Structure 1
């Protein structure tokens, strides 16, 4: 019997998110779209007037905020509808229209920052004395600190108009990767032909049957390899856009430009890479243990996902995953659990994979709506942790929206990954401590070590890859498919060492990583994981005081710089200690696993 994906219509309604909580109908979306289009014309009312006094300044800020909120709702709804089934042209069109409107809005709003910076210091200080502007203190301070990188009004307007062009590589990648790419069939453990998808790929890479793992691996990369030059052109164009914007804004490099948005010094990025390098011998020790436990003469890249204890049954249906996640998150207190329960029962989550649905998982939503979670649940342990991870994001969003104005509700990615990975850490601690079976405990520890591999070591390797290819573009070198594959292979060799066979297919893994289209994003997974590990330890050891600090952190949104928010929560990311603490936990777990598998 062939296993095929269901269509969207075949998925029961109770397993789908409720986007009607944003717009009751597509017509309501159209109504807001028309109203928002009209708001563009108001820019003429405020342009050139901000030095006139607090009244016009506040009115302009409120218009800009409402404008931004409308755009957020329009784009989010359209894109999430498209994500339900990327083949539907109606939602492709609505997403494109929302994107174009956002570009037009960016142009209409582009005068604000240059005009603020052009106000004479004495006059600006006078305007800021008005108590209605106190809410804008952090917003204005952040503008002033980046003054040297803000261009003239005319130049900012031109840059705003290029927004759609700059997003083209990511848009093309998304359509090629999610809507058009056909991977092909493989045979599962029982010899049944199944359709390999990006959503079920990891499930088959975790198969106990090595033949299935190898088939999934080779079939996946054969599909990407057929278009490798196209993927290289997409990624190269994205990198060149990053470099262009950094140069135009007078940054020394694209990475400096990307980090400055969070006010993160380059030393944090470099220290992460260096600290992870220091622990690579321990990571390679883990790879050696994997080879030993699996009992293979050669460890291949398609062997790195399969659990150490292959006979353990980890089939976890969604309802069970919810129950386990809730139990693991009990240390966060009743307030947190009440919101979690609301999310589970109130149409926040789109659970199962269907034809055309965007792969992976994410948390999204708007300031005016509850959060939403996209999943492609596969009844695996990974799917359980994806649920805990994305609900961490969603509760961060919920508490920030509840406690901050729209201006400050949005939080930076640098802190976002703390909320998600802390949830994973607490759920994993719970499962390990609750298990009395040495084999299950070994399995869970192995899975936790895999989270370190995927979130700290792998994402740091990605961060190195991004740094190198952007530096190459800044040297005016061509980012060909061969060059990108060579860089990627060298990094795999550095990280994994000589105890693994670097199958040639892994050279092209960069072709399928969507995060590379959001420059210098992935390092935040590693720093976030490190901060989350430290905070989880504090919550377990200190109890209520640490919980209250953490809930205050989740409620802070973007009201301060990310490093400051984390410092207030209890970790200082300007020091190497959080990364070291996380990797020390990796070493401790590895020691435990070595003992368990030798029993």
Structure 2
């Protein structure tokens, strides 16, 4: 039996497929120099403690110093963490990351007086300060937002304690990251050609798309069987993260952990509840999709390991990385010349880390500090899905590029709520481009299948995740038991509800929550679903209206965090305060499902 070679080591990956973190720091020594400079900057800030109410110049000075500190800490942390992400087993960058985390916690503690002191300034004095000090005009939105937060900000001493506790609060996520990326070893299975293949995070998606059902089944049980061996540890780690969320929400006097998480974006709880309610109302369409999948795969019983394999037979669509770059460039042409110019630059100048290597962080993301170009981490596997991942992450990257270019540091960081809009607009434009040009019937069906999977994976599945988060947090808040068995039962019931009666919900899927990194960033995943809905509406406007819609959209990308996300999206052309965008997105899902049913009916 031929044995496939193990994952390459980092040093064996060609430089052309690696990002250039030297654009952040040319050497680790340069990083160290900036790290050592932070205490002096903190001294300047703490020298203003107790003096913010004295004069407007002090208020402006502390806000400007806080920006300088934020830029420096962001640069220090992102470099260390992204170096660690290249190979999580590398002790050098494990240490740099730990030091950066500790430095952030120290800085948060020493600067924690700023918000309470600003909030203690009487409104009439704050207004006078803003009139007499021109430099404070930049901070008007920030100051107004701080006033909104007043009920949830504690005394200076209490804020200092919470800031020190923040490092402890990161522990569940850090433990999960090390377990998931450094310690877990998955079994080896045989692929379609009989070669031995080690299951990895990056390869798992590829294996689940295998036409050989044995491969899918073995990959499914191999992956989840590994998590089950640590299920008690993973349950304890996850429930610790939930308890952390509940603790901080209660200390800050929020009605619930959910409302605490939504508050920063100024998103009403109704938006979250509308998402779950609207998607649940359309679960019949997902049940119909599952029924079609069962029929087209020709199986007596559909299992969870059958959910990712393309339903269209005889289409083996492999896309090299070079081909993917061209596909994405063409698909995003509706966004205009300037967007295309930046995209082309990103492909040629070390923005992207392309291939999987041993120890590399799984999945994909876009990140990067203010003052340098953004970066994208991939684990590219030559699948069509990977092309869409590239488009998705470049949506984030160019959002960052435009926000950083057009906004001062204080407003350069957009929220996750709008971030998922930018990434999904790219995916939607790409799929529309491919569908418009594809003449081959099998490939067209394959693309429709892929688009339907985007709806299943992003709108339905992420909403199911969001409902799971809501349920488990509510249980902790109500002082109810949340044992391993309870977690598994809740997750099982949700899969039954969302996927319907035509699929066997295998028991091993009950542990899936244990491998979802986003659950350690509470109430995050719902933004994928709302972002997908908003992106469906915006991309339709771009394709239908052309330049006016493109201008609105680019203005949105350039706005960073200069306003609340719902307001930014309204100006771009979509109102997420209503269920309408979700309803419209689900109507597109039904239309695609209709088309696939008709095409496959004629084929039969």
Band of TM-score, shorter chain: over 0.9
Instruction: Tell me how far apart the structure 2 counterparts of residues 165 and 213 of structure 1 sit (CA, whole Å).
Output: 39
Instruction: Tell me how far apart the structure 2 counterparts of residues 104 and 311 of structure 1 sit (CA, whole Å).
Output: 58
Match of 2:81 in 1: 79
Match of 1:571 in 2: 574
Instruction: Tell me how far apart the structure 1 counterparts of residues 207 and 127 of structure 2 sit (CA, whole Å).
Output: 62
The question of whether the paired residues in 2 share the 8 Å contact of 1:206 and 1:306 is answered with yes
Instruction: Tell me how far apart the structure 1 counterparts of residues 57 and 46 of structure 2 sit (CA, whole Å).
Output: 16
Q: TM-score normalised to the size of structure 2?
A: 0.99
Alignment of 1:47-446 (within 5 A): 47-129=49-131, 130-446=133-449
The question of whether the paired residues in 2 share the 8 Å contact of 1:111 and 1:157 is answered with yes
Match of 2:479 in 1: 476
Deviation at 1:515, TM superposition (A): 0.4
Task: For residue 200 of structure 1, give the secondary structure of its aligned residue in structure 2.
Answer: helix
Match of 1:23 in 2: 25
The question of whether the paired residues in 2 share the 8 Å contact of 1:138 and 1:560 is answered with yes
Could you list the per-position Cα deviations for residues 228-275 of structure 1 after superposition, in whole angstroms to 9, with x for gaps in the alignment? 000001110000000000000111100010001100000000000010
Match of 2:532 in 1: 529
Task: For residue 47 of structure 2, give the secondary structure of its aligned residue in structure 1.
Answer: helix
Instruction: Tell me how far apart the structure 1 counterparts of residues 340 and 316 of structure 2 sit (CA, whole Å).
Output: 28
Of 471-480 and 456-465, deviating more is 471-480
Could you list the per-position Cα deviations for residues 174-216 of structure 1 after superposition, in whole angstroms to 9, with x for gaps in the alignment? 0000011101101100111111001110100000000000000
Could you list the per-position Cα deviations for residues 7-55 of structure 1 after superposition, in whole angstroms to 9, with x for gaps in the alignment? 1111000000000000000000000000013222223311111111111
Does residue 1:539 correspond to 2:542, yes or no? yes
Does residue 1:591 correspond to 2:602, yes or no? no
Deviation at 1:596, TM superposition (A): 1.2
Does residue 1:491 correspond to 2:494, yes or no? yes
Deviation at 1:480, TM superposition (A): 1.6
Deviation at 1:481, TM superposition (A): 1.1
Deviation at 1:438, TM superposition (A): 1.2
Deviation at 1:476, TM superposition (A): 1.3
The question of whether the paired residues in 2 share the 8 Å contact of 1:37 and 1:101 is answered with no
Which ranges in structure 1 are unaligned for 5 or more consecutive residues?
A: none
Residue from 511, 532, 550 that aligns with 2:553: 550
The question of whether the paired residues in 2 share the 8 Å contact of 1:235 and 1:517 is answered with yes
Which ranges in structure 2 are unaligned for 5 or more consecutive residues?
A: none
The question of whether the paired residues in 1 share the 8 Å contact of 2:46 and 2:111 is answered with no
Of 575-584 and 473-482, deviating more is 473-482
Task: For residue 308 of structure 2, give the secondary structure of its aligned residue in structure 1.
Answer: coil
Of 3-12 and 369-378, deviating more is 3-12
Deviation at 1:109, TM superposition (A): 1.3
The question of whether the paired residues in 1 share the 8 Å contact of 2:415 and 2:565 is answered with yes
Instruction: Tell me how far apart the structure 2 counterparts of residues 321 and 598 of structure 1 sit (CA, whole Å).
Output: 32
Does residue 1:36 correspond to 2:38, yes or no? yes
The question of whether the paired residues in 2 share the 8 Å contact of 1:54 and 1:127 is answered with yes
Could you list the per-position Cα deviations for residues 292-332 of structure 1 after superposition, in whole angstroms to 9, with x for gaps in the alignment? 00000000000000001131121001000010111110100
Deviation at 1:57, TM superposition (A): 1.0
Could you list the per-position Cα deviations for residues 505-557 of structure 1 after superposition, in whole angstroms to 9, with x for gaps in the alignment? 00000010000000000000000000000000000000000000000000000
Instruction: Tell me how far apart the structure 2 counterparts of residues 478 and 373 of structure 1 sit (CA, whole Å).
Output: 40
Of 33-42 and 396-405, deviating more is 33-42
Instruction: Tell me how far apart the structure 2 counterparts of residues 121 and 389 of structure 1 sit (CA, whole Å).
Output: 44
Instruction: Tell me how far apart the structure 2 counterparts of residues 455 and 143 of structure 1 sit (CA, whole Å).
Output: 33
Provide the aligned C-alpha RMSD in A: 0.7
Of 440-449 and 2-11, deviating more is 2-11
The question of whether the paired residues in 2 share the 8 Å contact of 1:350 and 1:374 is answered with yes
Could you list the per-position Cα deviations for residues 392-436 of structure 1 after superposition, in whole angstroms to 9, with x for gaps in the alignment? 000000000000000000000000000000000000001111110
Match of 1:514 in 2: 517
The question of whether the paired residues in 1 share the 8 Å contact of 2:87 and 2:361 is answered with yes
Instruction: Tell me how far apart the structure 1 counterparts of residues 192 and 46 of structure 2 sit (CA, whole Å).
Output: 65
The question of whether the paired residues in 2 share the 8 Å contact of 1:51 and 1:57 is answered with yes
Instruction: Tell me how far apart the structure 1 counterparts of residues 10 and 253 of structure 2 sit (CA, whole Å).
Output: 47
Task: For residue 128 of structure 1, give the secondary structure of its aligned residue in structure 2.
Answer: helix
Does residue 1:2 correspond to 2:36, yes or no? no
Match of 1:450 in 2: 453
The question of whether the paired residues in 1 share the 8 Å contact of 2:207 and 2:219 is answered with yes
The question of whether the paired residues in 2 share the 8 Å contact of 1:461 and 1:495 is answered with yes
Instruction: Tell me how far apart the structure 1 counterparts of residues 481 and 170 of structure 2 sit (CA, whole Å).
Output: 20
Could you list the per-position Cα deviations for residues 275-303 of structure 1 after superposition, in whole angstroms to 9, with x for gaps in the alignment? 00111001110000000000000000000
Task: For residue 533 of structure 1, give the secondary structure of its aligned residue in structure 2.
Answer: helix
Task: For residue 201 of structure 2, give the secondary structure of its aligned residue in structure 1.
Answer: coil
Task: For residue 363 of structure 1, give the secondary structure of its aligned residue in structure 2.
Answer: strand
Q: TM-score normalised to the size of structure 1?
A: 0.99
The question of whether the paired residues in 2 share the 8 Å contact of 1:242 and 1:254 is answered with yes
How many residues of Structure 1 are paired with residues of Structure 2 in the alignment?
599
Deviation at 1:56, TM superposition (A): 1.1
Task: For residue 366 of structure 1, give the secondary structure of its aligned residue in structure 2.
Answer: coil
Task: For residue 136 of structure 1, give the secondary structure of its aligned residue in structure 2.
Answer: helix
Instruction: Tell me how far apart the structure 2 counterparts of residues 313 and 345 of structure 1 sit (CA, whole Å).
Output: 28
